[in-house]
Amino acid sequence: MSYCSLYPLMKKKGINLSAQDFQEKVNVIFHDCEAEVYDEMHADMNDSLQEQIDLLVEDLLGHCDVSKKQLRVLDVGCGTGMSSNFLMNSRLKPFIAHITLLDTSSRMLEVADRKAQLWNKEYSLFCGRMSQLSGKYDLVLVCSVLHHIPDLKQFLEEVRIITNPKGIFIHLQDPNVDSLNNENYKNRVKSYRSKDETKPLGRKIKNLLPKRYRSYINRLLGRKNYIDLINDKLIKDKVISSRLTADEIWSITDIHVGSLQDGTMKGISIDLLKGSLGNFTLINQRSYGFYGKLKADLDPEFKKKEQDLINENKLDGRNISGLWVKYK
């Protein structure tokens, strides 16, 4: 469990809640406030995640015959329904009978509901946790979720329990801890940053001010971003008594991602998944973000290099994705 990483911040802020309650409350409020801006903020994920889901679906169709199946799908931590939307754009759509959209944020589910109405598929919404569901599923989809889960072993055990025999587990958009200290990866990131730093920078006055002062001035002027709104709600609900920085909030919500709070290299390891998923077989592992960014954020030269590495199925990018099948 990773709750212990929260203790220094909780002590600094005088938080009296348990670490689990604190993390859960911040996580829900964070995603409630982020719901309406999430898709816009993460537009860079569109091409990369659609490509990854398409590749994993091709891996699946090459391994299993699903032509006679009508799959019951569970999207855990579905957020705005982005990843399910990508799944509906893939070759797997004709074989999907029903999809359950699960999230702890009711505001995220409201946005997901709007997307789901366009899929021409039966679907249901569930605000809560995977352990509260009844029944089993043929495919469990987890996108940009694993790095938010403090107790990964318990979470993966719940995935194992809720998945039918011969069921499918797909995960993507998590930091690849196995690559972040890899010399090839670090050299690629360095080469991209070296070129990126040669680009001219804007010299707007606001950019000369430290970010914390810019945020304070914006609040005084009534211009609040979603980090301000998160803090307002946390203070109103008496979760905190003084404002958190953006990095402090992310260190709570993205608990398996390295932050300025602890300076450690974190992420998700395929070996950890293998050890926790038990009777699942890894059909294929994939990676992307080979230059420390998603493809949409790269210039044409590095986009081509990124695509070449994806096509070669190199595994030392910033992000990981994987396809697993439960063999009994």
Tokens representing 119 are 């899929």
What's the mean pLDDT in 277-284? Answer: 94
Q: How far apart are CA 230 and CA 34, in angstroms?
A: 9
Taking only the tens place, the pLDDT of each residue in 51-61 is 999 999 999 99
Per-residue confidence (pLDDT) for residue 197, from 0 to 100? 66
Per-residue confidence (pLDDT) for residue 210, from 0 to 100? 46
pLDDT exceeds 50 at position 152: yes
Q: What is the pTM of this model?
A: 0.90
Residue 56 makes CB contacts below 8 A (sequence gap 6+) with 170, 172, 284, 286, 321, 322, 323
pLDDT exceeds 70 at position 15: yes
Per-residue confidence (pLDDT) for residue 1, from 0 to 100? 52
3-state secondary structure the chain: CCHHHHHHHHHHHCCCCCHHHHHHHHHHHHHHHHHHHHHHHCCCHHHHHHHHHHHHHHHHHHHCCCCCCCEEEEEECCCCCHHHHHHHCCCCHHHEEEEEEEECCHHHHHHHHHHHCCCCCEEEEEECCHHHCCCCEEEEEEECCHHHCCCHHHHHHHHHHHEEEEEEEEEEEEEECCCCCCHHHHHHHHHHHHHHCCCCCCCCHHHHCCHHHHHHHHHHCCCCCHHHHHHHHHHHCCCCCCCCCHHHHHHHHCCCCCCCCCCCCCCECHHHHHHHHCCEEEEEEEEECCCCCCHHHCCHHHHHHHHHHHHCCCCCCCEEEEEEEECC
Residue 137 makes CB contacts below 8 A (sequence gap 6+) with 72, 73, 74, 100, 162, 163, 164, 167
pLDDT exceeds 70 at position 206: no
Taking only the tens place, the pLDDT of each residue in 108-121 is 999 999 999 999 99
Least-confidence region, from 135-139, 152-156, 201-205, 304-308: 201-205
Per-residue confidence (pLDDT) for residue 203, from 0 to 100? 45
What's the mean pLDDT in 73-86? Answer: 98
Taking only the tens place, the pLDDT of each residue in 27-42 is 999 999 999 889 998 9
pLDDT exceeds 70 at position 283: yes
Taking only the tens place, the pLDDT of each residue in 174-185 is 999 999 889 999
Per-residue confidence (pLDDT) for residue 249, from 0 to 100? 93
Taking only the tens place, the pLDDT of each residue in 120-134 is 999 999 999 999 999
Percent of the chain surpassing pLDDT 90: 78
Least-confidence region, from 2-6, 116-120, 212-216, 267-271: 212-216
Torsion of CA 52, 173, 145, 178, to 10 degrees: 120
What's the mean pLDDT in 63-80? Answer: 94
Domains of the chain: 42-179+267-326 (3.40.50.150)
Per-residue confidence (pLDDT) for residue 90, from 0 to 100? 97
Per-residue confidence (pLDDT) for residue 2, from 0 to 100? 72
Per-residue confidence (pLDDT) for residue 207, from 0 to 100? 46
Q: How far apart are CA 117 and CA 112, in angstroms?
A: 9
What's the mean pLDDT in 141-162? Answer: 95
Q: What are phi and psi of 233, to 5 degrees?
A: -70, -40
Taking only the tens place, the pLDDT of each residue in 225-268 is 788 889 999 999 999 999 999 899 999 999 988 654 554 557 99
The answer to whether residues 172 and 56 touch, using CB atoms and an 8 Å cutoff, is: yes
What is the rounded average pLDDT for all residues in the chain?
90
Per-residue confidence (pLDDT) for residue 156, from 0 to 100? 96
